[in-house]
């Protein structure tokens, strides 16, 4: 049996989870009935599985052992044997016959669903009266979308972005607080109000550490469901009226001096201006709450609202990253034990226990909201993820295209910032150079041996 996690967490788990183990939503097995559940997941070692899932379950089910299989180990095999990853994974599934998959939010989950490797959980949920109502509906719907409309897995946790704001700075300068469901236009307009405040320089909006103006442009474009290219027709689609409006909006905010780009202000060092009260707002993930609260700097009075949205799609936005989706293999011969494990990992009691220490957002939002009762934690949960866009899938283009297009676009926007060209000229340059890159990278792929 693998190494136990901390004794205090386990004792708490014993009291809270074992005490509720007689509920009617699990399938009962006798204590002396040995069971082996085969788990296949995306991790580099077994320890991660036991720390996140296995130890919790084994504490309640001492008759259970796990056989853990890492999908990530296939990458070495793919390199050595020069075979396709999909082929190697298919072989591994046939050889190992796992009962449960633990997958991440990427193309792998959708591929396994499309190839009938995952079980539709709807019937099991209904038959056992599993409490799915208290799992955030936006996340469930997102997983359904990844499965082509069918629920092939249950998400345990995720991360998302929200707009953090320094309440004290807004109060000091008598500027109204940001609100949920603001558009990018409203957010950048609010940011500009800090451009002319008296006294020490205060920025309205701090960008990410490695962000450039082009990153901001991309984020606005994604919120507005715009794409730089059309995957189906293999052409560039950036020299348009819609993209012109996005470029103009971001560039105007840049010229106002209200945006802080750490990457462009090396003389300021690596300091987080929001943390030290020199930036009024920033777009960050959930983990930033603890980072701000545990800061050695003077504590700031902050809260969150939803990430910016498009005016016609004000229920969509943010940057969802589902961290683990628990699924059952469609060919499992051990469905009852597998489903009991899935229920436990996605159940109410384990969510309550993990909310005390987890640094990501639980799919069961009620416990996360109680962890920070004075803060608007719902800002991370209120928006549904933006729809999947095939035009953003790197697999839909020549191998090197999207990375080369990004690097080229950054340089063209730098030329805009340096007053070397206008917004229209920047769009025309990205369009022309993008079309050339698309042809060149396609030709490179054709020259590669099969």
With CA atoms as reference, report the closest residue to 66 among 86, 83, 52, 82: 52
Cα–Cα dist 252/229, whole Å: 24
Residue 375 CB partners (closer than 8 Å, separation 6+): 289, 303, 304
Residues in the chain: 450
Q: What angle do CA 259, 293, 198 make, to 5 degrees?
A: 35
Measured torsion, CA atoms of residues 141, 147, 152, 158, in degrees rounded to the nearest 10: -50
Q: Which two tokens stand for residue 319?
A: 């940057």
Cα–Cα dist 260/384, whole Å: 28
pTM over 0.75: yes
Q: Which domains does the chain have, with CATH numbers?
A: 7-157+321-380 (3.40.190.10), 161-306 (3.40.190.10), 390-445 (no CATH)
The answer to whether the beta carbons of residues 156 and 323 sit under 8 Å apart is yes
Query: Tens-of-pLDDT digits for all 450 residues of the chain?
Result: 434 444 344 444 444 444 444 333 444 444 557 899 999 998 767 898 998 899 999 998 999 999 999 988 888 777 777 778 888 899 999 999 999 999 987 778 988 999 999 999 999 999 999 999 999 999 999 899 889 899 999 999 988 999 999 999 999 999 999 999 999 999 999 999 999 888 889 999 998 866 789 999 999 999 999 999 998 899 999 999 999 999 999 999 999 999 998 877 655 555 789 988 999 999 999 988 888 887 777 788 999 999 999 989 889 888 888 889 999 999 999 999 999 999 999 999 898 888 877 778 999 988 887 777 889 999 999 998 887 777 787 778 888 899 999 999 999 999 999 999 999 999 999 999 999 999 999 898 887 755
């Amino acid at each position: 049996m693998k190494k136990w996690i901390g004794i205090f967490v386990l004792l708490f788990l014993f009291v809270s989870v074992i005490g509720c183990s007689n509920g009617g939503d699990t399938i009962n097995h006798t204590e002396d009935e040995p069971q082996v559940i085969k788990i296949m997941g995306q991790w580099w070692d077994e320890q991660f599985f036991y720390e996140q899932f296995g130890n919790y379950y084994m504490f309640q089910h001492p008759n259970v052992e796990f056989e853990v299989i890492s999908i990530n180990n296939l990458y070495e095999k793919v390199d050595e044997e020069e075979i396709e990853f999909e082929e190697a994974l298919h072989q591994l599934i046939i050889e190992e016959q796992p009962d449960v998959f633990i997958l991440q939010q990427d193309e792998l989950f959708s591929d396994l669903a499309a190839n009938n490797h995952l079980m539709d959980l709807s019937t099991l949920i209904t038959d056992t009266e599993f409490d799915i109502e208290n799992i955030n509906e936006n996340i469930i719907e997102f997983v359904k979308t990844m499965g082509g409309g069918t629920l092939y897995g249950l998400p345990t946790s995720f991360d998302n972005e929200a707009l953090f704001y320094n309440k004290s700075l807004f109060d000091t300068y008598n500027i109204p607080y940001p609100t949920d469901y603001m558009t990018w236009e409203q957010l950048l307009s609010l940011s500009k109000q800090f451009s002319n405040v008296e006294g020490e320089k205060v920025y309205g909006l701090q960008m990410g550490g490695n962000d450039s103006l082009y990153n901001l442009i991309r984020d606005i474009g994604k919120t507005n469901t715009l794409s730089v290219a059309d995957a189906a027709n293999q052409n560039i689609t950036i020299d348009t009226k819609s993209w012109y409006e996005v470029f103009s909006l971001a560039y105007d905010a840049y010229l106002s001096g209200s945006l802080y780009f750490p990457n462009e202000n090396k003389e300021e060092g690596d300091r987080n201006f929001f943390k030290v009260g020199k930036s009024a707002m920033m777009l960050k993930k959930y983990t930033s709450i603890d980072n701000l609260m545990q800061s050695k700097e003077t504590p700031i009075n902050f809260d969150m609202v939803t990430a910016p949205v498009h005016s016609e799609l004000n229920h969509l936005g943010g940057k969802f990253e589902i961290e683990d989706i628990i699924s059952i293999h469609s060919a499992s011969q051990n469905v009852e034990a597998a489903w009991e494990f899935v229920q436990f990992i996605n159940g109410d009691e384990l969510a309550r226990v993990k909310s005390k220490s987890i640094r990501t957002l639980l799919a069961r939002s009620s416990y996360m909201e109680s962890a920070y009762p004075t803060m608007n934690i719902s800002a991370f949960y209120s928006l549904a993820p933006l729809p999947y866009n095939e035009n953003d899938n790197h697999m839909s283009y020549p191998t090197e295209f999207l990375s080369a297009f990004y690097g080229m676009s950054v340089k063209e926007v730098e030329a805009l910032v340096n007053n070397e060209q206008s917004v229209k000229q920047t769009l025309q340059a990205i369009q022309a150079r993008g079309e050339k890159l698309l042809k060149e990278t396609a030709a490179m792929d054709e020259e590669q041996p099969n």
